[in-house]
Amino acid sequence: MIGRNDPCWCGSQKKWKKCHWPDKGTEKEDLAAKYLRDYEIILKTPEQIEGIERACQLAAHILNELCLAAKEGVTTNELDLLSQKLHKEAGALAAPLGYGSPPFPKTICTSLNEVICHGIPNDIPLKEGDILNIDVSCILGGYFGDCSRMVTIGKISAEQQRVCDATHACLHASIEILKPGVLIKEIGDVIERVAKERGCSVVDQFVGHGVGLAFHEAPQVPHCHNRISIPLVPGMTFTIEPMINACVREGVIDKSNQWEARTKDGKPSAQEEHTILITDSGYKILTNL
């Protein structure tokens, strides 16, 4: 009789208990069924994870190219054109284009200075002293990847630097705690703590999100204090994308385009985003190059 620690019958060279051991498969399927039923969260299969990782790697690559191209004198419409080209060359689609209602008009979000998120590319050239978030979400082979980061143009103010640094610190401090069993709400607790230490506020109007088979899946991942007590489990893929403000947390959505959110006080805002996979032992940042 085959024992738990014997090589699996399928020839994988793995131990039976790590491979086709019946209880393990059933446990995994039970958990996936439970997460879908209780929280509408899709736990991804290894095959789906491969596809999502490919989409994430492409998003990270396109984001990197756009950040390198974002220089003084370049317009965000020119960055959008480059984004169109890079998506096309890779055989991918840009998830933002035509998304939502009214349909988002461009392939990337470019959120400048006091714009919190969902900035629409335009014909205004970047200038010294600007801080810009570029957000890339792509669809490759039916799978989704989503990431964003800040670029700074020339010399920026101490206040702008403080918000950009705080945003980076918030995202990475919240990623470092991730592993199975951690509750969703602990992510917001870390972000709020780090932002406060740096004299910044956390936007509560927009959230991170499950991602992978669709652009926005369950669960919501708030960046501020919240009560979502769902434990993280392996196979979850979601974004963390804190928006951090220099002063007040409140934002106002543009009346004419209904997308762009600006800080209520006109002070700077920054954002950074990664797509994360929860693994058996911790996490993997899928949008790291």
Contacts to ligand MF3 by CB under 6 A: 96, 99-100, 104, 109, 118, 135, 137, 146, 148, 209, 241, 273
Determine which residue in the list 83, 160, 237, 239 makes contact with Co ion, applying CB under 5 A: 239
> Which of the listed partners (ligand MF3, Co ion, none) does 99 bind, with a CB threshold of 5 to 8 Å by partner kind?
ligand MF3
| Complete edge-to-edge strand list for the sheet that includes strand 274-278 | 217-221, 208-210, 237-240, 274-278, 283-285
Q: How far apart are the first and last CA of the chain?
A: 46
Report the C-alpha gap between 244 and 209 in whole angstroms: 17
> Which of the listed partners (ligand MF3, Co ion, none) does 106 bind, with a CB threshold of 5 to 8 Å by partner kind?
none
* Collapsed DSSP state (helix, strand, coil) of residue 32: helix
CB of 275 to Co ion, least distance (A): 8
Q: Which is nearer to Co ion, 20 or 216 (CB)?
A: 216
CB of 236 to ligand MF3, least distance (A): 16
Give strand pairing partners of 273: 148
Q: Which is nearer to ligand MF3, 161 or 205 (CB)?
A: 205
Give strand pairing partners of 101: none
CB of 272 to ligand MF3, least distance (A): 11
Report the C-alpha gap between 264 and 211 in whole angstroms: 29
Residue 269, interface with Co ion (CB under 5 A)?
A: no
Tokens, residue 172: 């990475």
Report the C-alpha gap between 250 and 259 in whole angstroms: 15
Where do runs of H (alpha helix) occur along the chain?
22-39, 46-69, 76-89, 158-176, 184-197
Q: Which is nearer to ligand MF3, 159 or 204 (CB)?
A: 204
Report the C-alpha gap between 218 and 35 in whole angstroms: 10
Q: Which is nearer to ligand MF3, 16 or 243 (CB)?
A: 243
CB of 88 to ligand MF3, least distance (A): 18
Q: Which is nearer to ligand MF3, 114 or 146 (CB)?
A: 146
- The position carrying tokens 């994870």 is 49
CB distance 161 to 200 below 8 Å: no
Q: Which is nearer to ligand MF3, 16 or 261 (CB)?
A: 261
Q: Which of residues 138-157 bind Co ion (CB under 5 A)?
A: 146
Binding mask 171-210 for Co ion (x = CB under 5 A): ----------------------------------------
Q: Give the footprint of Co ion on this chain (CB under 5 A).
A: 146, 239
